[in-house]
Chains A and B, each alone.
Chain A
Amino acid sequence: MAQVNADPALDIVFNPVERDPQGNIDAYAPLCEEILRDSGARHVIGCTTSWSRKEVIPALERMDGALWYPAPYEGFEASDRIVYAHACPNQHLLPLLDYAFAQFGRRSYLTGSNYIWGWEINRLAREIGSRTGGEVLGERYLPLGTTEVARIVDEIAALKPDFVLNQLIGKSQYAFLDAIAELRRSDPFFAEGHCPVLSCNLTECELGAIGPSAEGVISAGPWFRGLHPALPGNGGREDFGSSLEAAAHASVMTLAQLLNGAPGAEALSLSELLAQRRAAELGISPRTHHTRLPVAIAQVRAGAFVPLRTGAPVEADPYLTRERDPAPVPLRVVK
């Protein structure tokens, strides 16, 4: 916002109103409503989990507000009140599975925290895998916040999959990665480079908390530090800690662009704002409110993400209803 306010080429000034729900799921809707009720703000930038996003939608509808959501999510939503500024499955999970099937094999183990993100991402992985000859060896979930990962790690050690798709979040993920690092030291099958752990939402912002156990994790996202350029909406800036920061920055810059040179535009509804031709030029679909984003797959090496594969920006397909080139199906050995 400081960048927008200091830019003489933009004829608008942002006045931030901040509220921090501190990760408490019950605080998101009341605080969102408070912003929209007690201030002139119409656009809210925030929320990380799908759960919190779903919580604020009724407040947005009631108070005529808009949300810019800068985190990856599981798709199957297209709210008229939301701009989806980060990746959905055809921009993270699908390219990640293509990569994993080609590089490591088709026998997977699925795990995640017990809520919508992990359930849906793993359901998709199962469905896409089954279409292309994949085999799910196991699937197990943990309650949010738990660190009791031994059973999952024992199962992985016994099943020896080609890769693990990990949708655990927070402390559960940290404990899981620690336990997998231990397994890699004790079992040669899991030595470096074998049976990698994959993620659709791990970014640089958690590497410090995870420490050395993050080594080797492969993640998909629209951007990782060191890639040029960052997101289309960043206008050439690249000094972000992670793609979450980049998507939040792109949200503010895009909103500024959409309001610039259009007196009264701050009173327009989100769908009216996005109906402007420049919204599509900035990469936001007026049909789905999702953002066209590049796709990168990167691996943690020596504490930083190193790109393994990068791709041109992809149009978001939140309901996966568009044609897509499937991963090639390998010939299977019939015994």
Chain B
Amino acid sequence: MRRRLRIPDLGGARAAILHRPHATVTALVRQLQAIGLEVDCHWPDLPASARAADYLFIDVDTAYDDQFPWEPGEAPLPTIALVGSEAPGRIEWLMNFGADAQILKPVGDGGVYSALLIARATFDARVELADEIDALKRRLGQRQTVVQAVAVLAARGKTENEAYEQLRGMAMAWRVSFEDAADRIVAAAKPTHQDESDHG
């Protein structure tokens, strides 16, 4: 599938850099400012306020989990790895921590703009995919409820197929998902005393 890249709005966007003071930071700040971003540099820890930035650059050579106010793999913003050492241990740390794009050090004139575009696109795709997986998992978990709902409706004298179609019709009429409709049917069919205890 061919994707058309959506160019993010970078004018006035904020970038946070977690890297000790170094020529790499100077070059990176210069390039980010040339592109039009505002830059905050942090070292040695990343404050919680960095969550509000639009992009994060991290130094893979020196980074460790405790520097970040979130768990590995859960970065709340597009993250770009600055890779110097290619020692496998460092790459392993990076794989666990997760990054949406990378730039090899030393940082020069090139690479920063494309890393911003790639990181934003990858991050957005990752978030979208995670949401989709959550929704699918939820639906998978509700399979048992659907079976129960079909059984409830079938117990009123319909065939299984008719009960299934009836449930679909209800979901459409109520404008809810198939699974949510099943949930309502099953809840309504529960014995009254349990209903009372639920509200008691």
A-side residues, CB < 8 A to B, are 57, 61, 76-81, 127, 271, 287-289, 317-319, 321-323
Contacts and interface: CB of A to CB of B under 8 A. Distances in A.
B109 A321 contact: no
Given A76-B113, A80-B108, A322-B11, 8 more contacts: A79-B109, A79-B110, A80-B109, A127-B7, A271-B30, A321-B12, A321-B37, A323-B11
A322 B36 contact: yes
Interface in B1-44: 7, 9-12, 27, 30-31, 33-37
B89 to A, nearest CB: 30
Contacts of B109: 57, 61, 77-81
Contacts of A127: 7
A289 B109 CA distance: 12
Contacts of A288: 34
Contacts of B7: 127
B10 A78 contact: no
Contacts of A317: 36
B9 to A, nearest CB: 8
A317 B12 CA distance: 13
A319 B36 contact: yes
Given A61-B108, A76-B113, A78-B109, A321 B11 contact: yes
A323 B9 CA distance: 10
B11 A78 contact: no
Given A127-B7, A321-B11, A322-B11, A78 B108 contact: no
A287 B34 CA distance: 5
B35 A319 contact: yes
20 contacts: A77-B109, A78-B31, A78-B35, A78-B109, A80-B30, A80-B109, A81-B109, A287-B34, A288-B34, A317-B36, A318-B34, A319-B10, A319-B35, A319-B36, A319-B113, A321-B10, A321-B11, A321-B35, A321-B36, A321-B37
A88 to B, nearest CB: 12
Nearest to B31: A78
Contacts of B110: 57, 77, 79
B31 to A, nearest CB: 7
A131 to B, nearest CB: 11
Contacts of A318: 34
Contacts of B37: 321
A86 B110 CA distance: 20
B4 to A, nearest CB: 9
Instruction: Tell which of B7, B9, B27, B31 has the most Cβ of chain A within 10 Å.
Output: B7
Contacts of A289: 34
A57 B110 CA distance: 10
Nearest to B114: A76
Contacts of A61: 108-109
Contact of A287 (B9, B27, B33, B108): B33
A81 B34 CA distance: 13
Contacts of A78: 31, 34-35, 109
Nearest to A271: B30
A322 B36 CA distance: 7
A273 to B, nearest CB: 15
Interface in B102-121: 108-110, 113
Contacts of B12: 321
